[in-house]
Structure 1
Amino acid sequence: MSTTEQNIKTAIEALNLADKIIFAHCAMRSFGGFEGGADRLLDTFLSAGCTVVAPTFTYFPMCHSPDGIEYPQNGYRGELEIDPSPYDAHANDIEPSMGAFAKAVLNHPKRIRTEHPMNSYAAVGPLAEAALAPQDDFNVYGVYQSPQARNAVVLSMGVTPNSITPIHYAEQLAGKALFRRWALTANRGVVETCVGSCSEGFIYLQPYLSPIQTKKRVGESTWTAYPLEALLDACAQAFRTNPSIIRCSDDCPRCEDMTLGGVKTLN
């Protein structure tokens, strides 16, 4: 079987997504086939008045600090061996693991993309500019902070909580300090940025997410919708209650350092 466009339209109506900002996380393979693919899926959301926001991360620009800065508890142990290529927000470079739907958002002719050289977001729709405006190099999760995002929905299409990016922002809301990385840009040289932690253990948050989620079978795919503010509140409370709740293993430096509270800087 495959998923049809009518399945998508029915789901948009049932989940009350029309005209809202949708923070989308999608595995197209979960659809069991969908005529038109990711581009058609995106067009269906846009036809309903949605503003679609997707993470369009790329790690190719990552480089070492030009000043040799090494912050304590910064989520790595000197293992970064890299050959950076410069980030350009006008280009369509993207980490392949972001998936086909994020790539479709990035390649849409009317998309807007942020300037963060490692953790950029792209958006299409009437509220795209407003949704993306708060992000900068250090306020990496600014996309979840605009007034327009208060009624936003985080939509998981065939993916697990491990792929839900705003959970990283909940770590910050719980008082954890985000990691620092450096990246080469096409127009600004090397810049220092904030980035999130490991997401492999986000699956352990499911007991906190279940009370606020709405699930729907959409053709062959399972969609889960979360009100953004409720998701952030639930996850931040989980981190305050149990700082190590999402630790994926004993030998993950990002999990270890974030459990301890995150990076220690002078500022």
Structure 2
Amino acid sequence: MILGDHLTTAIDELHLAERPVMLHASLRSFGTAVDGGADALLDALLERGCTVMTPAFTEPQFGLSAPPDMRPARNGLDYAAPSERSTCQEGLPYRVDCGLINPRLGVLPAVLIRRDGAVRGRHPLNSFAAIGPQAAELIDAQSPDDVYGPIRELADRDGRILLVGVGLDRMTALHLAEQRSGRRLFRRWARDEDGDIRTVEVGSCSGGFTQLEPLLGPLAQSAVVGASRWRAYPARQVLAAATAAIAARQGITRCPDAECVLCRHAIAGGPVVS
């Protein structure tokens, strides 16, 4: 069994104490049970003075189909295809206290948003959540019109991106690098606080981010806990390196699916917006 001391040792090896940390984690990667589960990992980071931030996305719960008069070309969508949007909330507006999360994000973000002291962003589809001494400052950088503000704030505060048993295809920060490389973010739709339909920006496919491994791998510090490989990346340097690489060769982020419309449209520059 993985104990709290094992987690703390890895945190110290990676010099994460007192830093804001963007966390992407798979509890299954440990290969055995973690005593205390996701809470234990959060507690270990918080006890070392870290602020922990995770994605807290809600596309299935609050995403709407494209309105007929809001359909830009090259937007990562086939507007003629049947909609896969869930309407489980019947078009209700997103609230930061909704308690909902995309289940594909895994256990840890769902645990984080329910903890006392957690702060959550106002983006209706791609919010971030954080807990710890710098949580409010990180999350205040997000608005419905600035989806990746918390990642920018993380980099400005010399924060780290921590991958626990997952690969670069889970590194949400690389979507900000895509935007900085000159791509426009995709447009999606949700209801604002007044119930009106509004357009918001979201990221693209992340399946090809693993192709940045030769470039970003040398920036990481590594530790091993059980069967789980941890890698801690300096956010500022990752964003700079990835932005330059994508700007130089847009196709570097193409995923293995030759038919992926998200990749095709993102590489072409994103939506055509008048």
Q: What range describes the TM-score normalised by the shorter chain of this pair?
A: over 0.9
Q: Does the C-alpha gap of structure 1 residues 104 and 83 become closer, same or farther in structure 2, counting only changes over 3 Å?
A: closer
* CA distance in 1 between partners of 2:154 and 2:148 (Å): 14
- Between the aligned partners of 2:163 and 2:140, the Cα distance in structure 1 is 23
- The match for 1:17 is 16
Q: Aligned residue pairs: how many?
A: 265
Shift of 1:138: 2.3
Question: Does 2:75 align with 1:74?
Answer: yes
Equivalents in 2 of 1:99, 1:168: separation in Å?
19
Mapped to 2, the partners of 1:81 and 1:29 lie a distance apart of 29
Matched, 1:180 2:181: no
TM-score normalised to structure 2 length: 0.92
What's the offset of the Cα at 1:158?
A: 0.5
- The aligned residue for residue 259 of structure 2 is 251
1:147 to 1:153, Cα distance in 2 relative to 1, 3 A: closer
> Structure 2 CA distance, aligned partners of 1:231 and 1:61?
31
Alignment partner, residue 8 of structure 1: 7
2:85 maps to amino acid: I
Distance 1:147 1:21, change over 3 A: closer
Q: Is the CA contact 1:51–1:127 (under 8 Å) kept in the aligned structure 2?
A: yes
Aligned 1:1-267 pairs, distance under 5 A: 2-31=1-30, 32-59=32-59, 60-66=61-67, 68-78=69-79, 79=81, 80-84=83-87, 85=89, 86=92, 87-146=94-153, 149-185=156-192, 187-248=194-255, 249-266=257-274
Work out the CA distance in 2 between the residues paired with 1:207 and 1:247: 15
Distance 2:110 2:154 in 1: 26
Identity rate of aligned residues, in percent? 34
Structure 2 distance, partners of 1:161, 1:219, is 20
Which string of whole-angstrom CA distances, capped at 9 and with x for unpartnered residues, describes residues 114-172 of structure 1? Answer: 11111011100010000111111121100022277431000000001110100000001
Structure 2: state its 5+ residue gaps. none
Alignment TM-score, normalising by the size of structure 1: 0.94
Instruction: Check whether the contact 1:4–1:219 (CA below 8 A) recurs between aligned residues.
Output: no
1:58 partner letter:
T
The alignment partner of 2:208 has SS state of helix
Unmatched runs of 5 consecutive residues or more in structure 1:
none
SS, match of residue 146 in structure 1:
helix
